[in-house]
Each structure stands twice: as C-alpha cells, then as structure tokens.
Chains A and B, each alone.
Chain A
Amino acid sequence: MIAILAVAAVTLGTVGLGAMGTRLARTTSDLLVASRAMTAWWNAAAISGEYLSAASFLGIAGLEMQNGTTALWQSLGFTAGYLCLLLFVAAPLRRFGSYTISDFAEARLRSPRLRGLASGTVLLIGGFYLVPQLKGAGLTLNVVTGAPYFVGVLVVGLVVAVNVGLGGMRGITYVQAFQFWLKVFAIAVPACLLLIHLGGLPARAALFGDQYPSVGANGAVVALHAPQQVTFPTATRYTIVTSSHGRSTARGLESFAGEQTTLPAGKLLLAPHAAVPVASGTTPLRGSKWARPVGGGGERSPVFVYSLLIATFLGTMGLPHILVRFYTNPDGPAARHTTVRVLGLLGLFYIFPGIYGALGRVLVPQLYVTGATDTVVLRLPQAAWPGTVGNVLGAITAAGAFAAFLSTSSGLLVSIAGTISHDVWPRVSRERTTTVAIRRLRFRLAAGLGMLAPIAVAFFAQGIDIAVLVGWAFALAASTFCPLFLLGIWWTRLTAAGAACGMVGGAIVATSGILAGLALGEPSGIAGALLAQPAIVSVPVAFLSMIVVSLRSAERPTPDAEMLALHAPEGLDLPEMGVRDPFVLGPRA
C-alpha cells in the first residue's frame, strides 16, 4: 500500500513538473533543447538523472545476484562512458551547435543522405533502449501491486508519451535533476539502513565461501505460477504441492546434485538450509566463484569483460538521449565542467546497486528459482527487515525504480519524437512550409507514435533479460555513432561515404552477433562471450572501415569551416560558421 502511494507520488510529481514546464515552453527550440542557461550542477544532475535507467537501478543488482560480481564491471563502464565523452566529444560538439546526432552527421560531412542513415540508427537504438525501461516498469508494478506485466508497461508508456508531448525538454531538465536525487536517495538510504540493521554482510559462506545460496533456518515456500525448469546444485529434499480441482496434493522428492528437472506449477517447499534450485539458463555458483569479478568462461571470461567495458566506454556517447542534453550548456568549457560533475554524481550512485545484489543472494534466494533476480532491489527490503520499516524501504526503492523508468524513457522519447517529427515526417510528406503550430502538433503526434513500437516489443520481450537488451543498445551505439563522432571531430579526412560504410558495417556485426547469440542459446566459451557482447569485434570493424573507405575515396575533404566551429575557443568573436539549425523558427531551407 505504501509502495503504491510512493509510485503514484513519483509519477504525479513527474507529470506535475512537466506540466509546469509546458507553460514555459514557448517555441519549438525551447521545446527541444530548453534554454541554454542552466547552471553546471543543474545540468550535471539532469544528465545523470536521465542516464540512470532500469539497467542501473534494477539490472546491475539483478545481474550481480545471478551472475556474480562480474556485473559490477557494468557500473564501472557506465561511469567511464562519460570520461570518454568528456575527453573527445563534449566541448567540440557543444561548440558545433547542432542539436542531435543526425544534425551533426549532416552538418559535419555535408551529406543529407548520411543524415537519413543517422536518423534511422537513432530510432533503432532509442527504440530498443526504451524496451528494457518498459519491461522494468512492468516488473515493478507487478511486484508492488500484483497487477499483470502489461499494466506497468502501458502506464509508464502513456505517462511518458503525454509528458514529453506536452512539456518537451524545458520541463524535463528540472524533472530529470529532481529525479536524479530521488534515485540516489532511493537506492542509498535503504542500502545503508539494511546494512546497519543486519550488522554487515550476513552468511559470508554463500557470498565468498564454498556454499551455494540456500534458504534460511525456517525453510522457504516458493510459489510457481507456471512450470519451471531448474537445476539443483546439491542433493536436496523438497516438497511439491500441486492443486487440481480444488484438491491439493503434496509430494516429497529428493534431487541429486546437478539434477535438471521441471517443477510443476504450484508450491515448492524447501527444507531449512537447503540449497535453492536455480532457473535454467543460470549456472548455480558457489560463493567463491560468485565473488570473482573475472575468471571462467562465457560471461565471466576476460574477453567478455573487456568487450563490455569497450561497449559501455564508447557506447554512452552514442545513446540518442545523452548528447541532446549537452546543448543546455552555454559553451564548450561549460560542457566540460558539467561532464566532470556527472562523473562525480554517477560515481556516488553506483556505490549502492552492488549491495542489493550481494544481500539478495543471501536473503531472497528464492528469486533464483524463477530467475526473477531483476526484482531483487524491490524485494530485498521486506525480506531483510520484515514489518513496517521493510515496507517503507521497499516503497522507497519502488519509487526510485519508477523514477528511473520515467526519466530515461522521457529522454529517449524526446530524441525519438524529435527525429520522427524533423527528419522522417518532412521526408514522407514532402511538405515545404509549416507553421509553428503544425510543427508543435507534429512533435506531439511523434511522441505518441514513437512510444507504440517499444510498447509492442516490450510485450513480446518479457522473457529477454534487461541486461541483454541494454548490452545490445550499447554495442550498437559504440559501433556506429562513436566512430562517427571521434573521427568526425578529430580527423579531417573522414568522408561521408566512409562514415556510412563504417556505421553500416559496425551495426551489422554488432546486431548479427547478438541475434546469433539469442538464436544459438548463448553458447559457452569465447564464442559465447563474443556473441553476447560483440563490441570488441564490431567497434574495430566500424573504425577500420570508416578509415579505409575514407582514405580510398577520390574525394579530399576540406572541412576547415567545420573544424573551426568544432575547435575554436569561445570569445574570439569569429563570424558564425552557419551550421544550419533546423529547429530555429522560420521557413526551413
């Protein structure tokens, strides 16, 4: 009940702040990028708030519980992505003055066709990154209220579409900053209180020793709503209670170590201290193995860890909702200093998710049975501290999770709607002149349209891990937009043809890797690691093809004006380079 109230409060607060922004948003330019006069701390909090998504709030803890402390590399990479952005992209891109990735592609390489390719890629990455957010919302609302999965997906989808359509980004800058601090509070306070309450990390044998996760001294009852394939790590006595036609029957069974079996729908009763069976697809891990950040095959191998670090380090800059936010900085140096603050703020947040994964392994091991480890952040407080305090803390984490879905989805939808209304729509309808009112209406319709496909995919993607979807989005961004930015900003000889080849090549390698991994059921060994996270292959492919095709083309580009706009410091009173700003009011060229 408290949790429902907390989730409702966060949602209403977001909508309310968004509505306040609506009254301030006057022009299309305002609607998209807000005024460029936010302070560095506001901007940094807004950037971080938009960035911390379902993957950060729920996914890391869930993956850590399931797969071990290897998951912590993800939070490291998520932070380091902003270091890469700071070193190579933040200041030049802000000076260049284009608002979106598509604008940059077109203006830097003087190619409207490259713009089309970039817009398509923005829609692809943005759409697929929206899916795990909606999935998280469905899971959360299910845990909090018991509502079916699709209700949460629809609620968050609708709220975000309406909020973005009405408020645009002006409202959202304040909303995002507010939501950042809400998320830090919601993940930090329960984690600290639980650690104090438990007196440190309990049951170290299951965490760092040679034990499998096992139920407590009172045993456990696990409700199974559907038949569940599981692996028993040890010989275990268990009871299955099934009911048919109003009569329930109990059967006592005993498993042998390593037995794989299918449990029927019903109730699973585990004896005190029994090791829990683990849903198929997950390998049961002893504490000592679980605690090793690297070591082993598949997603625990060094190859996978390096590939993941590359994907997150280079992919962050290519997520569609990240760069738009940088244009709210007044100039290049401000963009740098904002990014430094972002590094600090993200470092603060990522201290905490790991605590939930570790405590969850000890205190809610029954999540292993159904494989619902993505919900550990939501379920842990009640399990660790039964009673009112646990309920309140659970409500706080649920509210924080909702803030995460709302903020990231909003940022993504702003980029998607902007791309649809400014790139796709004019191309399809071939209209020449529009009024402000029509363009605003178009943006609002695009916000609705842009949410439809991700909602549809989220219904079908219920079984795919949040981490898989997120890893794919990062790999794709790292192998398309990252080389476009790095070479476009720092290398004069990049040609439009080279950029296009590199983006297409990188996207194909990254996508086919992930699809093959899903189709083959994640094979083990190095091949499995590469298919699960192909960035370590696809990123070099993209860079090399961009460089080779550019060098081989007959064209010798002379981007002097573009380089001036990218790299000349402020305060020189140079004449404007005249990068076309497609959002400035007035007839489009």
Chain B
Amino acid sequence: MQPGESPGGRTPRDELAEATAHGALYLRRLRQRQLALSLLALVAFGALVGVLPLAIDIVPQLTRVELLGIPLAIWLLVVPLPPIFLILGALYARRADALDESFRELVRRS
C-alpha cells in the first residue's frame, strides 16, 4: 500500500487519531526515520569526538608540534569542535523538521 492511500476512505489522520493498526504503522515509520537521523548525527559526533582523545594519546606529534606557540593538541581540543557541534545541530534540526513536515503532508493530503 502506498503511503497516503487508505482503505475504505479512511484517512491517515483518522487512523492516527484512533490509534488503529494503520495509524501505529504510519507513526512507527516516522519514529524510525527520526531515530535513524539522530543516530546518523550521533555517529558523526562520535567519530569526531571519540577519535580525539585516543589520537592525542597515541600520536606524539600532536603535542610536540606548536602553532603560534601553543601545542596542536590544545588547538584541536578547543577550537574546531564547538562550531562543529553547532553546525551538526543546525543540520539535524533542519532535517528533523523536514521529516515532520513530510509526515504532515502525508496526513493532510488525504
């Protein structure tokens, strides 16, 4: 069954409101998409932050090489990550809103 088509003239909105099997299915799909998006963002975050302590511990050059008189490791720890969090968060919020919107479209179209 295509999303948006419902048997017997019932709309997804009715299904949702009455929490029938179809309504639960629509909602589960949305929930899974939202969760997949969040996990994707989490993986991106984990890859960036998770690698850093180990990298600094293992690669001695990061503490030996200095930039403007301050070791590279400190620059890596202080400068790039907070802006990356912000960008990651903003991208996530946009995609999450878009997922909500497409779900709303699906429900309204009927």
Contacts and interface: CB of A to CB of B under 8 A. Distances in A.
A333 B97 contact: yes
Contacts of B19: 560-561, 564
B83 interface: yes
Contacts of A204: 69
Interface stretch (A170-178, A344-352, A418-426, A502-510): A344-352
Interface of B: 13, 16-17, 19, 23-24, 27-28, 30-31, 34-35, 38, 41-42, 45, 49-50, 53-54, 56-57, 63, 66, 69-71, 73-74, 77-78, 81-83, 85-86, 88-90, 92-93, 96-97, 100-101, 103-104, 107-108
Interface in A78-110: 79-80, 82-84, 86-88, 91
A560 B16 CA distance: 10
Contact of A343 (B13, B23, B89, B101): B89
Contacts of B71: 208, 291-292
Contacts of A343: 82, 85-86, 89
B74 A293 contact: yes
A352 B90 CA distance: 23
Given A291-B71, A294-B57, A339 B38 contact: no
Contacts of B49: 76, 80, 309
Contacts of B81: 76
Contact of B101 (A306, A347, A354, A569): A569
B34 A567 contact: yes
Given A80-B85, A293-B73, 11 more contacts: A72-B78, A208-B71, A292-B73, A295-B57, A306-B50, A333-B97, A344-B86, A346-B82, A563-B27, A568-B27, A572-B108
Contacts of B90: 340
A-B residue pairs, 8 tightest by C-beta: A347-B82, A569-B100, A87-B38, A336-B93, A305-B53, A340-B89, A294-B57, A560-B19
A473 to B, nearest CB: 21
A64 to B, nearest CB: 11
A333 B69 contact: no
A385 interface: no
Interface in A26-43: none
Contacts of B23: 560, 564
Determine the main DSSP class of B at the interface with A: helix
Contacts of A84: 42
A340 B86 contact: yes
Contact of A560 (B13, B24, B82, B86): B24
B42 to A, nearest CB: 6
A86 B45 contact: no
A579 to B, nearest CB: 14
22 contacts: A72-B77, A72-B78, A76-B81, A76-B82, A80-B45, A83-B41, A83-B89, A91-B96, A201-B69, A292-B56, A292-B63, A294-B57, A302-B54, A305-B53, A336-B96, A340-B89, A343-B86, A343-B89, A560-B23, A563-B28, A569-B104, A572-B104
B77 A73 contact: yes
A387 interface: no
Nearest to A336: B93
A86 B38 CA distance: 9
A333 B77 contact: no
A83 B92 CA distance: 10
Contacts of B100: 332-333, 569-570
Contact of B107 (A73, A302, A572): A572
A286 to B, nearest CB: 13
A217 interface: no
Contacts of B45: 80, 83
A332 B99 CA distance: 13
A347 B74 contact: no
Contacts of B30: 567-569
Contact of A83 (B88, B96, B107): B88
Contacts of B77: 69, 72-73, 76, 293
A88 B39 CA distance: 9
B45 to A, nearest CB: 6
B53 A73 contact: yes
Contacts of B73: 69, 291-293
A295 B97 contact: no
Interface string A273-310: 00000000000000010011111000000100110010
A336 B97 contact: yes
Contacts of B104: 569, 571-572
Contacts of A288: 63
A427 to B, nearest CB: 32
Contacts of A82: 89
Interface string A197-213: 00011001000100000
A72 B35 contact: no
Interface string A518-561: 00000000000000000000000000000000000000000011
Interface in A559-589: 560-561, 563-564, 567-575
Contacts of A350: 82
Contacts of B31: 490, 563, 567
